[in-house]
Amino acid sequence: MPGVKRIRVKLMSRYNARVVEPKWQEAWDSAEVFKATRDETREKYYVLEMFPYPSGRIHMGHVRNYTMGDVVARYKSAKGFNVLHPMGWDAFGMPAENAAMEKKVHPGDWTYQNIADMRAQLKPMGLSIDWTREFATCDPEYYGQQQAMFIDMMGKDLVYRKNAVVNWDPVDMTVLANEQVEGGRGWRSGALVERKELTQWFFKISEFSEDLLDALDGLTEWPEKVRIMQKNWIGKSQGLQFNFKTLGAPKGFEELEVYTTRSDTLFGASFTAISCDHPLAKALESDPKIAAFNAECRQVGATEEALETAEKKGYDTGIKVAHPFEAGCELPLYIANFVLMGYGTGAIFGCPAHDQRDLDFARKYDLVITPVVCDEAQDPDTFSIGSEAYLGDGRIINSRFLDGLSIEDAKLEVNKRIEAMGLGEAKTNYRLRDWGVSRQRYWGCPIPVVHCEACGVVPEKKENLPIELPKDVSFERPGNPLDRHDEWRNCDCPSCGKPAQRETDTMDTFVDSSWYYARFTNARADTPTVAEDVAYWMNVDQYIGGVEHAILHLLYSRFFARAMNLTGHLPKEAIEPFNALFTQGMVCHETYKDPDGKWLTPDEVKPVSGGYETADARPVTIGPSIKMSKSKKNVVDPDDIIDQYGADTARWFVMSDSPPERDVEWTAAGADAAWKHLQRVWRLADEISQSTEVDKADAKQVKDLQKATHRAIDDVTSGIEGFAFNKSVAGLYQFTNTLAKSNADKATKIEAMKVMAQMMQPMTPHLAEEIWAVMGGTGLVAQAPWPKVDPAMLKDDTVTLPIQINGKRRDEIEVSADISKEELEKLVMANQTVERALDGSAPKKLIIVPGRIVNVVI
């Protein structure tokens, strides 16, 4: 009965992700398909996505990030590599302490619960992760090894203490993160934030400035933009460091040491300026006006952004400095809020004509503006500076013995003379500062040192590690609970055994994430790393994560790998830990507000004609599409998508459309389209397997489908290799269309569908397994080799060439692919459109790009 058959086909063609996905996940688990085992006979491939902070819920950004890594991992595995693809948790940090304060839960309990929740959300995605290597950075087994390395680094003189400023909330009596300072005030107390000096721990990253800079050139598989950002961050500059003689300065400040990269402009100097944190500025604070000005400067936030965007202000100290080359020329000395103590010497000379900031300052305080570099196209006698400083190239003017020289020659001449006068020397400077790792917080890795009255600061004995965080702490009061936990604090000195006190600072969480990649190579070892494992698995072959980590996390990791090498925890070959880096974009969504201006989540609004309205039919304002965030409520929980459509649909959607490096827009329509396509592929597979048609082998149809199959292999492969997953997806759509329309015989279609399953496997692994099984594939498609492309199948016999006339497309001709240039020329000249355009005359020029285009210039 036809009706019966019809119903049966319909039932068969339903693809039920809810049943199919767990089934294949169990199959992979029981076959331990993703367990990575060291095997020196096989070539390894290490794929790593930046591990997540356990906020409690995964979001679409995670889904996208981990799907990308999974596609690479599964693809490389199919290519025959021994793949390592681990997962862990960046588990220390501020949010756990905030939760402790708000919800009265212990930061550890909160964090481990979040990890459990997120793991439960990630597992259904079917990621090819070796979960046996999972760890959290807040596990004592992990941070204890980090403490051991800290001690080793102390032994190699890579760690030291010095004073540095923090944001201090005078009401809450606590240190604030930059993020917790809003408009110069503490986010909770609302008090004006002060800058306070504390003795803090530092890593000597700046000693590696030159190496970290040089080695960037070798990171050829990193995005150019990231290398440029790091280069600028390190900020190497060639300059001159020299002394001005001061007039009227307090005792001990007879000289003022400045650093400049523009020594050629010394004759254009009209003032000098120091930071409010400069020792001289502090020495002058006995003058209440200066003390007040310095205090005002220190009110400006500690961030570079706050300093640079603040209005430029100065205070004339009345002190003068003598120009080294111009007898009798005296320059005023200002304290200025835009001079940074952390860079150079904390003192500068200002040349307003050739520096915009100095010019603004000079205009404000009515200082002399003498141009000393003249644009070659201008007359030196009339060259003057308006509202913009002249930053271009040119000849030196108004500078006595430098007149007529180029900028470069003038710099050399000034440097030579200053050195000869014994006033200073040419010096290379770096913008990169040492890495302050002290945090006055509980939820971090304790710094494993002890303060002893007799012995000073001593490292803990390694056998006492890990120094674990005490469990019994309270967050009733602001500040660091470790400071007031006497039982934990009091200890015996590891050196003399007398009563002493533990350091209560914990480490910056960037330390935790600076070596986790190495720990994954042997996550349970009782040393930080194991030589054989790091030798085999390092480096990370492909690292994937957000571009927001382009500088800090990646630079710190590069430094830490060097430090680990010096302390014997990583081989020399691994000092650049990430061979290839890919930075992905964010996931965005529209924002919605009700008439009261309250943010609404996407499922609180329902579509009506021309827009959206609330559940109680009030109009909804649609805002811009921005990065998904809890505060704007524009979040789509991946759980819902996975529940509704299955993991494959979520994976397929985040891989399609947008190029991975760009931000992606989540739309419900797009998810639905992804689901429809997967259903369609499944139906197609089902139809093919059930078709009973007798083979009517039309040779051309067979050949066409085979060619399309190889074209698809080529497209999908180059898409994955080039991190253009959206193009791989487009190739698979195209291939599906071709296959659906094909009249080739069943055997050819089955072959094509098996290749389809192999190619879809990295993106939609569950559906791929199901299709593979239905098509009679052997074993798991997750373990099947990647299909090989036959280059002969990619060639076409004929090619369509566009004909341009004066660069504009006017016609096209179909010619054989291996046509000679002469023959083609003849065909072009005989073309009607060309003949009409030429109207009897000869073309000026005929440009033929073989296989591409013909351009007739008239």
Rounded to a whole number of angstroms, the minimum distance from the CB of residue 14 to RNA is 10
By CB under 7 A, what part of segment 542-571 binds RNA? 547-553
Residue type, 545: G
What is the tally of helices (H) and strands (E) in the chain? 27, 35
- Which of the residues 379 through 408 are near RNA (CB under 7 A)? none
**Residue 759 token pair:** 């190619």
Buried b (16+ CB within 10 A) or exposed e, 274-285: bbbbbebbeebe
Q: Does 852 bind RNA (CB under 7 A)?
A: yes
Which residue among 658, 709, 761, 764 contacts RNA (CB under 7 A)?
658
**Min dist. Cβ of residue 783 to RNA (A):** 28
Is 741 one of the binding residues for RNA (CB under 7 A)?
A: yes
- Structure token pair of residue 763: 């993106």
Pick the piece of the chain touching RNA (CB under 7 A) from 315-323, 369-377, 496-504, 800-808. 800-808
Measured from the CB atom, is 523 or 588 closer to RNA? Answer: 588
Q: Which residue from 690, 737, 783, 798 is in contact with RNA, where contact means CB under 7 A?
A: 737
Binding mask 136-175 for RNA (x = CB under 7 A): ------------------------------xx-------x
- Among the listed ranges 400-408, 565-573, 676-684, 818-826, the one in contact with RNA (CB under 7 A) is 676-684
Number of residues counted as binding RNA (CB under 7 A):
95
Q: Does 605 bind RNA (CB under 7 A)?
A: no
Positions in 707-726 near RNA (CB under 7 A): 724, 726
Q: Which of 677, 710, 754, 766 binds RNA (CB under 7 A)?
A: 677
Report if residue 847 touches RNA, rule: CB under 7 A.
yes
Residue 308 in contact with RNA, rule: CB under 7 A: yes
**584, two tokens:** 């992905």
Nearer to RNA, 200 or 317 (CB): 200
When asked if residue 304 is in the footprint of RNA (CB under 7 A), the reply is yes
Window contacting RNA (CB under 7 A); options: 27-35, 376-384, 672-680, 817-825: 672-680
Of the candidates 12, 20, 33, 94, which one interacts with RNA according to CB under 7 A?
94
Interatomic CA distance for residues 245 and 267, integer angstroms: 16
Q: Going residue by residue from 48 to 87, which x/- string records binding to RNA, judged by CB under 7 A? A: -----x----------------------------------
Q: How far apart are CA 534 and CA 772, in angstroms?
A: 36
The smaller minimum CB distance to RNA, of residues 181 and 534, is found at: 181
Rounded to an integer, what distance in angstroms lies between the CA atom of residue 475 and that of residue 481? 7
Q: Which of residues 233-272 bind RNA (CB under 7 A)?
A: 233, 235
Beta-strand ranges (E) seen in 132-189 are: 159-169, 174-176, 181-182, 185-186
Q: Identify residues 679-698 at the interface with RNA (CB under 7 A).
A: 679-680
Q: Which amino acid is at 47?
A: V
- Which residues, including other chains, have CB under 8 Å from residue 228's CB and lie 6 or more apart? none
d(CA 412, CA 836) in angstroms, rounded, equals 66
| Residue type present at position 856 | V
Where do we find the tokens 């005002």? Answer: 296
Tell me whether residue 474 or residue 806 sits nearer to RNA (CB atom). 806
Is the CB of 173 or the CB of 740 nearer to RNA?
740
DSSP string, 66-111: HHHHHHHHHHHHHTT-EEE----B---SHHHHHHHHHH---HHHHH
- The stretch near RNA (CB under 7 A) out of 415-423, 430-438, 485-493, 773-781 is 430-438
Does 730 engage in binding with RNA (CB under 7 A)?
Answer: yes
Question: 611: which 2 tokens?
Answer: 């827009």
| Residue 419 near RNA by CB under 7 A | no
Q: Can you spell out the DSSP letters for 356-372? A: HHHHHHHHHHT------
Q: Is 743 in the site for RNA (CB under 7 A)?
A: no
Helix (H) or strand (E) holding 272: strand 271-274
Tell me which stretch binds RNA (CB under 7 A): 15-23, 289-297, 503-511, 789-797.
503-511
Cα atoms in the Cβ-side hemisphere of radius 13 Å centred on 219 = 31
Shortest reach from residue 658's CB to RNA, in Å: 4
Residue 854, SS3? Answer: strand
**One of 128, 246, 542, 656 touching RNA (CB under 7 A):** 656
* CB of residue 334 to RNA, shortest distance in Å: 18
Residue number with CB closer to RNA (341 or 626):
626
Rounded to the nearest whole angstrom, what is the least distance from the CB of residue 806 to RNA in the complex?
Answer: 5
Helices 647-655 and 668-690: crossing angle in degrees, nearest 10, is: 110
- Angstrom distance (rounded) from CA 758 to CA 781: 6
User: Is 436 a binder of RNA (CB under 7 A)?
Assistant: yes
The neighbouring-strand residues paired with 500 are 491
Residue 800 interacting with RNA (CB under 7 A): yes
Distance CA 53, CA 125 (A): 18
Q: Nearest 10 degrees: CA dihedral of 555, 561, 563, 565?
A: -150
Nearer to RNA, 198 or 247 (CB): 198
Look at residues 713, 724, 721 and name the one whose alpha carbon lies nearest to residue 760: 713
Name which of residues 309 to 338 contact RNA (CB under 7 A).
Answer: 309
Residue 98, exposed/middle/buried by CB under 10 A (0-12, 13-18, 19+)?
middle
Q: Is 663 in the site for RNA (CB under 7 A)?
A: yes
Does the footprint of RNA cover residue 433 (CB under 7 A)?
yes
Candidates 8, 42, 162, 225: give the one binding RNA (CB under 7 A). Answer: 225
Residue 340 to residues 63, 273, 831: CA-CA distances in angstroms? 42, 10, 71
In the list 802, 818, 823, 826, the residue contacting RNA (rule: CB under 7 A) is: 802
Piece in contact with RNA (CB under 7 A), picked from 27-35, 230-238, 471-479, 494-502: 230-238
For the CB of residue 719, give the shortest distance to RNA in the complex, in Å.
Answer: 9
Task: Find the binder of RNA among 42, 662, 795, 821 (CB under 7 A).
Answer: 662
12 is a site residue for RNA (CB under 7 A): no
The binder of RNA chosen from 27, 57, 79, 95 (CB under 7 A):
95
Q: Give the separation between CA 192 and CA 134, rounded to whole angstroms.
A: 43
d(CA 686, CA 160): 67
For RNA, which stretch binds (CB under 7 A), given 56-64, 149-157, 415-423, 797-805? Answer: 797-805
CB 117, min distance to RNA, A: 16
**676 contacts: CB under 8 Å, gap ≥ 6:** none
Q: What is the CA radius of gyration of the chain?
A: 34
Cα 127 off chain centre by: 22
Say which residue the tokens 């103590």 belong to.
341
**Are 454 and 463 spatial neighbours (Cβ–Cβ below 8 Å)?**
no
Which residue of 627, 703, 795, 826 would you call a contact of RNA, by CB under 7 A? Answer: 627
Q: How far apart are CA 376 and CA 741, in angstroms?
A: 69
- Residue 809 in the binding site for RNA (CB under 7 A): yes
Of 26, 254, 483, 665, which lies in the binding site for RNA, with binding defined by CB under 7 A? 665
Looking at residue 706, its amino acid is: Q
Contact between 664 and 658 (Cβ < 8 Å):
yes
Nearer Cβ to RNA (306/457) = 306
Applying CB under 7 A, does 195 fall inside the site for RNA? no
- Helix (H/G/I), strand (E/B), else coil: 647: helix
Contact region for RNA (CB under 7 A) — 211-219, 324-332, 409-417, 650-658? 650-658
Region 175-194 residues binding RNA, contact defined as CB under 7 A: 175-180
- Residue from 812, 815, 825, 838 touching RNA (CB under 7 A): that is 812
Region binding RNA by CB under 7 A among candidate stretches 93-101, 262-270, 318-326, 394-402? 93-101
To the nearest 10 degrees (0 to 180), the angle between helices 60-78 and 638-645 is: 60
